[in-house]
């Protein structure tokens, strides 16, 4: 391996923040596809502030094999010139440096200036919407494709909604889809500290997000309120869709054996943004140099995706766990509003989260033992004409499910790398540039099939008359 701050080589991708806890898992996943048959990934660089830590992460990621010879580039978020130089040396940046609301914009700005493509694993709505507002038009002009939420936030939600929607073959039509996330483990579940930090800082930036939304023109929306779960949404959509009743705060979903509570995650916000773009572009967004065959494939794909109200809940097998998650939400909601409270939350995460989050992260054994299930319960009409008959209730239910390994360190790197491989191998079929959601960019591609080949499954569970 070599430190190469001024190399003129054009790398296929560069992993920025590769010495972080998530970053080293991203390296490990990337090495699986480096110089393998049919892989477009022929060169990788690692970038960050500390070359020694990057070398250590590479050694960890390649174990038990010796570390391959990868270029290591010193780059600092606080040094714009180092970021510009970095972006000039690579086709694609994978950004693992969070919280993104603090450290993400300089990287996006450098990528857009140079015309480099950018993917990240952000799940922070304020950052994503601000980047879209500031950099979308320039990204289109410069040919820089900027896609956030290319991890567990929010690709399973995006592809899961599409997968459920495609089961509603005409004349059937969905009215709403609710997702239930269930985290499972043979050991104790320990979350990513970066996720906890982002949630805490997210509470502090709620007003900024609301101000940003009020300052922007209202876009066309397919339904009147897609986000049924997030308290961050003060921008309801205006259309003729009739939202389903909200239901109780705590729900016992017997058909999947879970107690559930609404989850204020980025997923529903990202899905809403995808559906908004789809409303404005019914056939999706054209690829920069796509063939006629690809145009037909893209338009056919989007014709099978039907807009529906969408919400996300987190589910547990016991009511006690629901009480625990609600308590955690109260702590974050109360303490996250003032600086001393945020300091306490971030200084003592294990105490305030009752052991769910800790600074050093989970052990390798805890990561290996964890998994997730994400259920999608779609309710709608066996015949779309029923929807126009006054207060006619949905009479059909379709249940689908996504399952996979631990969400933060296994599923997220799998998704990020598959998105990266699609960018490298299918760039002509993707939009020229701009700040877009993973759903609108990767929906018509083979991303679902790629994930299925790498340990993430999509299943149709049932199609039945609605019990609601």
Judged on CB neighbours under 10 Å (0-12, 13-18, 19+), 333 is middle
Please say if the pLDDT value at position 265 is more than 90.
no
Confidence band of 238 (pLDDT split at 50, 70, 90): very low
Q: CA-CA distance, 424 to 430, in Å (whole number)?
A: 10
277-308 residue pLDDT tens: 999 999 999 999 999 999 999 999 999 999 89
382-406 residue pLDDT tens: 988 887 776 778 999 999 999 999 9
Could you state, in order of their start, the residue ranges of all structural domains in the chain?
2-147, 155-406+446-465
Higher-scoring residue by pLDDT: 212, 441: 441
Tokens representing 150? 């290319």
334-366 residue pLDDT tens: 887 888 888 888 888 888 777 777 777 788 888
Whether the model pTM is above 0.85: yes
DSSP of 302-358, one letter per residue? HHT----EEEEEEEESSHHHHHHHHHHHHHHHHHTTSHHHHHHHHH-HHHHTTTSB-
Of 257, 253, 220, the C-alpha closest to 235 is 220
* Buried-exposed string 136-157: b where 16+ CB fall within 10 A, e elsewhere: bebbbebbbbbbbbbbbbbbbb
173-206 residue pLDDT tens: 999 999 999 999 887 777 777 777 777 777 777 7
Of 327, 347, 328, 345, the C-alpha closest to 336 is 345
Asked if 45 and 70 touch (Cβ cutoff 8 Å), the reply is yes
Please say if the pLDDT value at position 227 is more than 80.
no
Please say if the pLDDT value at position 326 is more than 70.
yes
Higher-scoring residue by pLDDT: 116, 241: 116
Helical (H) or strand (E) element with 130: helix 125-142
Length of the chain: 468
CA dist list (Å): 161 to 28, 41, 254, 425: 29, 30, 21, 25
Q: CA-CA distance, 95 to 118, in Å (whole number)?
A: 7
Of 439, 405, 395, 435, the C-alpha closest to 278 is 439
The arithmetic mean of pLDDT across residues 235-254, rounded, is 62
Phi, psi of 403 (to 5 degrees): -130, 150
Q: CA-CA distance, 237 to 221, in Å (whole number)?
A: 6
CATH code, 2-147: 3.40.50.720
pLDDT at 88: 96
Confidence band of 244 (pLDDT split at 50, 70, 90): low
């Amino acid at each position: 391996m070599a430190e190469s701050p001024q190399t003129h080589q054009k790398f296929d991708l560069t992993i920025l923040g590769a010495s972080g806890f998530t970053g080293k898992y991203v390296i490990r996943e990337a090495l699986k596809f480096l110089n393998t048959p049919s892989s477009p990934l022929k060169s990788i660089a690692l970038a960050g502030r500390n070359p020694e830590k990057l070398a250590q992460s590479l050694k960890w990621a390649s174990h038990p094999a010796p570390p391959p010879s990868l270029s290591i580039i010193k780059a600092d978020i606080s040094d714009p010139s180092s970021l510009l130089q970095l972006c000039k040396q690579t086709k694609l940046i994978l950004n693992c440096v969070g919280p993104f609301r603090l450290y993400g914009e300089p990287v996006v700005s450098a990528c857009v200036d140079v015309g480099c493509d950018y993917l990240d694993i952000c799940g922070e709505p304020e950052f994503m919407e601000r980047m879209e507002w500031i950099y979308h038009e320039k990204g289109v002009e410069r040919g820089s494709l900027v896609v956030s939420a290319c991890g567990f936030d929010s690709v399973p939600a995006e592809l899961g909604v599409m997968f459920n929607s495609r089961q509603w073959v005409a004349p059937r039509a969905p009215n709403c889809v609710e997702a239930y996330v269930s985290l499972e483990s043979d050991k104790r579940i320990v979350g990513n500290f970066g996720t906890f930090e982002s949630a805490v800082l997210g509470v502090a930036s709620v007003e900024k997000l609301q101000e940003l939304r009020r300052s922007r023109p209202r876009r066309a929306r397919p339904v009147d309120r897609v986000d049924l779960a997030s308290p961050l949404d003060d921008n309801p959509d205006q259309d003729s869709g009739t939202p389903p009743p909200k239901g109780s705060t705590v729900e016992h979903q017997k058909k999947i054996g879970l107690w559930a509570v609404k989850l204020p995650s980025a997923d529903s916000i990202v899905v809403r943004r995808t559906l908004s773009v789809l409303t404005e572009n019914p056939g999706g967004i054209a690829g920069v140099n796509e063939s006629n065959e690809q145009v037909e494939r893209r338009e056919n794909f989007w014709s099978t995706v039907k807009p529906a109200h969408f919400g996300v809940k987190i589910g547990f097998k016991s009511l006690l766990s629901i009480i625990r998650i609600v308590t955690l939400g109260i702590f974050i909601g109360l303490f996250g509003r003032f600086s001393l409270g945020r300091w306490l939350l971030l200084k003592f995460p294990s105490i305030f989260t009752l052991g769910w989050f800790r600074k050093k992260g989970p052990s390798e054994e805890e990561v290996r033992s964890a998994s997730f299930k994400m259920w999608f319960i779609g309710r709608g009409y066996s015949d779309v004409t029923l929807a126009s008959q006054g207060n006619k209730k949905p009479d059909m239910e379709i249940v689908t499910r996504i399952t996979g390994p631990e969400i933060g360190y296994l599923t997220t790197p799998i998704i990020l790398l598959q998105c990266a491989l699609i960018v490298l191998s299918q760039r002509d079929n993707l939009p020229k540039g701009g700040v877009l959601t993973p759903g609108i960019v990767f929906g018509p591609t083979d991303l679902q099939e790629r994930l299925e080949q790498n340990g993430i499954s999509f299943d149709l569970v049932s199609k039945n008359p609605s019990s609601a």
